[in-house]
Amino acid sequence: MKKNKALSIIALSLALIFAGCVQSKPSGEQKAEFNLGKDITVIARDAASGTRGAFHEIMGILVKEKDAEADKLVVGALEFDGTDKVITAVEGDKYGIGYISMGSVSDRIKAVSVNGIEPDVENVRSGNYSVSRPFILVTKGSESELIKDFLKFAESTQGQDITDEMKFIGASDLSEDYASSGMSGTIKVAGSTSVTPLMEKLQEAYRDLNPDVTFEMQSNGSSQGIKAALEGSYDIGMSSRELKEEEASQLNSYILAIDGIAVIVNKENPKSDLASEDITKIYTGEITKWSEIK
Amino acid sequence: MQRTKQTGINEKIMQTIFFLSALISVAAVIAICLFLFVKGMPAIAEIGFMDFIFNEKWTPTNTPASYGILSMIVGSIYVTGGAIIIGVPIGLMCAIFLAEFCPGKIYMIVKPAVNLLGGIPSIIYGFFGMEVIVPIVRENMGGNGYSIMSASIILGIMILPTIISISESSVRAVPESYAEGSYGIGATKEETVFRVIVPAAKSGILTSIILGIGRAAGETMAVVMVAGNAVMPVDKINLLKPIRTLTANIVTEMSYASGLHESALISTGVVLFVFIIILNISLSLMKSKAQRN
Amino acid sequence: MYTNINNLKQRKVKSILLKSFIWFCGILTVGILIYILLFILLRGIPKINLEFLFGEYNSETLSAFSSIVATIQMILLSLTVSVPIGVFCAIYLAEYAKRGNRAVKVIRLAIDTLAGIPSIVYGLFGMIFFVNILGFRASVLSGICTISIMILPVIISSSEEAIKSVPDTYREGSLGLGATRLRTVFRIVLPTATPGILAGIILAIGRIVGETAALIFTGGTNVLKNPTFNLLSSQRTLAIHMYMLAGEGLPHSRDMAFATGAILILIVFSVNYAATKLAGRIGRLR
């Protein structure tokens, strides 16, 4: 009996020590040198993502030849279906590179400048920072009074103030104030996960002014939002990429804001600037190691 | 107590109701089969069965699109196999521990612990995997952590409760006489366990392994957060490189798929479904063979 | 042969090594559980506050209130559907079915199949049938329908086991007094088997609470500001809330994901505890 007790105490303490060791190891390892000869871990968004659609098209990863369209993302690139997952992956992997909405950049990772231009609101507004895409709201056919009212709100000065607060660039031509007329009803919205945070804030503010309105929102990717609007299953679709011709011809579109896409790397990565051709080469697999970048 | 005609009729009515309730399960299975096949057929018809299963190129958003799930099939196989390699030895040993070596007081701690492990939701495993296992694999084994290895580790942990509980019952069910016979000729406890008891519990242990395979192959959320979801050409598949399984493919792309793409994903579900049916059939065949012995 | 001293030493060493490895595996399993629990609880519990539990959902609070209510709705309503069907099915299998009957074999095969179907496949079926064909759209209702089918095998097998473990003497006594089969079932067998049936229900609750893949396409990922009783609206459950928070880019999403995880674990804890207590009651019956 005593032997068993002793044995189990020893085994238990060993297990706890093991657990403790293993948990502290990840944080300890961070102090090691950044080895430029290591492979780059390429991180992308999932195929539903408007951010991906926009980024891949702007950077030339999506290649169009006549009728054919092919995404040349390098084999073995990680694909994640959420902004935070991309941030977590880059935060944890010294050699990672990823792309996220500029509004989501935090101090967990580092956003590099592209071709020497810093990724900030001013540069996106002026057009210097070229990696940007529009946040578009789409509807189909004639809209109800409620939807028209909400869209007016989004484009009003109050709406644009919210947009600015969230580090997006307001794109509305309207510079009117919005006045509430006590609307009621339900608005169903679906689409881009990147637009969702902005949409949520707009919805909250709109509801403060029109308490009888409810929203229903699914965040399942730009393509799904556009599809939902086309099918009529949702009132408003959110997209974080340009519409394709077939889509644009059937839908009314409103540019809500311009959002920059930030290219992010781990905080320990010595690089703070990347040339856009190099970024393209990294994502298509032509460049595989950090040392290959001049 | 008087039996009236009414009582007899009531009996018959309730008996029918009970029987119908039982048939609902059958109806459910048939419905699931039916609707999955019907919705998935268009894809198989247009893509072609051979091309769907054996083509490793999955590019639904290109023009022209390609819908081959070979990479995902191999991915699921690798990840499930890895889970078995990690989960079965530990699980089996733990089951033996619980059945043969564990003192009563410790049993009261370990057995509920195993049950609790089995009740933890899969997104928690996924989250844990993403935050803890992936960095561990990255620091200690190389690659970027989102890999077959990480998925196998997490799945291995997830199937432990299945393996442990069923194997433990089987080991306990082995008659005392077997063990007594072995001690009688001078074997130690460990020799008795491994040379006599465990082989006798073989069929139950095998059952637990097959159920574990089913669980690992069908797991979605944990794998999606840990395996990186990259569609790899079959010849580049590597333990420390990312992978996409059949389940992850469905969940990642279904939200925006339409038309042929959606159909193809449903067919992926059909492939999974068929695989589980095959597993189930092997299980029943094994059980009837054991009964015959 | 076995009296050879060297051989004996070798066997003893092997035995000790095996024994340590066996103990190690036992401890390892418990250690893994403790690690996972501590990992989530230590970072999650501090983040739980009243706003998160009962407040309105907005991008500041990321409140789980509407998700918790939706989860409860899903549990209660799918049990309402599955428990009667499942228990009746178990009664049929345990009390009325003749051995070797073709129908019984088919039924058992169906139940085993249902038990093995991966949750993502249930999700696909739910999407095809309830969301699209029956037109319920992504809603709590679609989720409930899908979950009801999913937990059926769990209810059936634990109820059947509970019913089977009622001693035959009870039945014989009742029949001996002249009661009909039906009366015996409802007055004697079921009440006695109740702890076991309850244990099965509780296990089913645990399964529902943790379910994600089956509900993403049926219940949807939408989150309402306040809980609703309109079953046709789309509202995510607690587990999906955690999944969504784990993927969003807001600064405190990750913290709240831990908080949601902590709540999930506490629920699973209580569920398991209750089930163990009840299962103990069946044990005493044997």
Convert the pLDDT of each residue in C150-196 to its tens digit.
Answer: 999 999 998 998 888 888 888 888 888 888 888 888 888 888 888 88
Q: C140 CB contacts (<8 Å, ≥6 apart)?
A: C70, C73, C74, C219, C231, C232, C233, C234, C235
The pLDDT value given to residue B95: 92
Check C59 against A201: CB less than 8 A apart.
yes
Q: What whole-number distance in Å separates Cα of residue C271 and Cα of residue C274?
A: 5
DSSP track, B152-208: HHHHHHHHHHHHHHHHHHHHHHS-HHHHHHHHHTT--HHHHIIIIIHHHTHHHHHHH
Please give the model's pTM, rounded to 2 decimal places. 0.85
Q: Within an 8 Å CB–CB cutoff, is residue A83 touching chain C?
A: yes
The pLDDT value given to residue A27: 45
Q: Which residues of C touch A200 (CB under 8 A)?
A: 58-59
Q: What is the pLDDT of residues C10-22, one digit of tens each?
A: 888 888 888 889 9
Question: Residue A10 pLDDT > 60, yes or no?
Answer: no
Q: What whole-number distance in Å separates Cα of residue C91 and Cα of residue B198?
A: 35
Question: Residue A120 pLDDT > 70, yes or no?
Answer: yes
Q: Within an 8 Å CB–CB cutoff, is residue A65 touching chain B?
A: no
Q: A98 CB contacts (<8 Å, ≥6 apart)?
A: A43, A44, A86, A87, A89, A90, A109, A263, A264, A265
Check B90 against C25: CB less than 8 A apart.
yes
Given B62, B139, B233, which is nearest A26 (Cβ)?
A: B139
Q: What whole-number distance in Å separates Cα of residue B257 and Cα of residue B251?
A: 10
The pLDDT value given to residue C281: 66
Question: Residue C274 pLDDT > 90, yes or no?
Answer: no
Tell me which residues of chain B have a C-beta less than 8 Å from any C-beta of chain A. 59-64, 103, 106, 130-132, 134-136, 138-140, 144-146, 224-225, 228-233, 236, 241-242, 244, 252-253, 255-256, 258
A29: confidence class by pLDDT, cuts 50, 70, 90? very low
Question: Residue A8 pLDDT > 80, yes or no?
Answer: no
Residues in chain B with pLDDT < 50? none
Q: What is the pLDDT of residues C48-66, one digit of tens each?
A: 888 888 888 877 788 889 8
Q: Which amino acid is at A237?
A: G
The pLDDT value given to residue C263: 92
Q: A127 CB contacts (<8 Å, ≥6 apart)?
A: none
Q: Which residues of A touch C253 (CB under 8 A)?
A: 84
The pLDDT value given to residue C142: 92
Q: Within an 8 Å CB–CB cutoff, is residue A191 touching chain B?
A: no
- Residues composing chain C: 286
Check B229 against A68: CB less than 8 A apart.
no
**In terms of CA atoms, which chain A residue is nearest residue B134?**
A92
3-state secondary structure of A167: coil
- Classify the complex by whether its ipTM is higher than 0.90, answering yes or no: no
Q: What is the pLDDT of residues C226-261, one digit of tens each?
A: 888 888 888 899 999 998 888 776 668 888 999 999
Element (H, E) at B109: helix B104-119
Element (H, E) at B46: helix B5-47
Check A83 against C28: CB less than 8 A apart.
no
The pLDDT value given to residue A62: 87
Q: B106 CB contacts (<8 Å, ≥6 apart)?
A: A8, C26
Q: What whole-number distance in Å separates Cα of residue A92 and Cα of residue A27?
A: 10
C172, B84 contact by CB (below 8 A): no
The pLDDT value given to residue A17: 58
3-state secondary structure of A214: strand
Check B59 against A81: CB less than 8 A apart.
no
The pLDDT value given to residue B27: 94
The pLDDT value given to residue C286: 44
Q: What's the Cα-to-Cα distance from B180 to each of A206, B170, B176, B177, B202, rounded to whole Å?
A: 78, 17, 6, 5, 19
Mean pLDDT of chain B: 88
CATH homologous superfamily for the domain B69-245: MetI-like (1.10.3720.10)
Question: Residue A26 pLDDT > 50, yes or no?
Answer: no
Residue C63 main-chain phi, psi, to 5 deg: -60, 140
Sorted by where each begins, the domain ranges of chain B are 69-245
A180: confidence class by pLDDT, cuts 50, 70, 90? confident
H helix and E strand count, chain C: 12, 0
Given C2, C92, C246, which is nearest B21 (Cβ)?
A: C92
A19: confidence class by pLDDT, cuts 50, 70, 90? low
B212, B159 contact by CB (below 8 A): yes
Q: What is the pLDDT of residues A34-71, one digit of tens each?
A: 888 888 999 999 887 888 888 998 999 988 887 778 88
Check C29 against B26: CB less than 8 A apart.
no
Mean pLDDT of chain C: 87
Q: C142 CB contacts (<8 Å, ≥6 apart)?
A: C126, C127, C130, C131, C136, C218, C219
Check C247 against A85: CB less than 8 A apart.
yes
Mind telling me how many Å the CA of C184 is from chain A's nearest CA?
A: 49
Q: Within an 8 Å CB–CB cutoff, is residue A180 touching chain B?
A: no
Is A268 or C135 the better-scoring residue by pLDDT?
A268
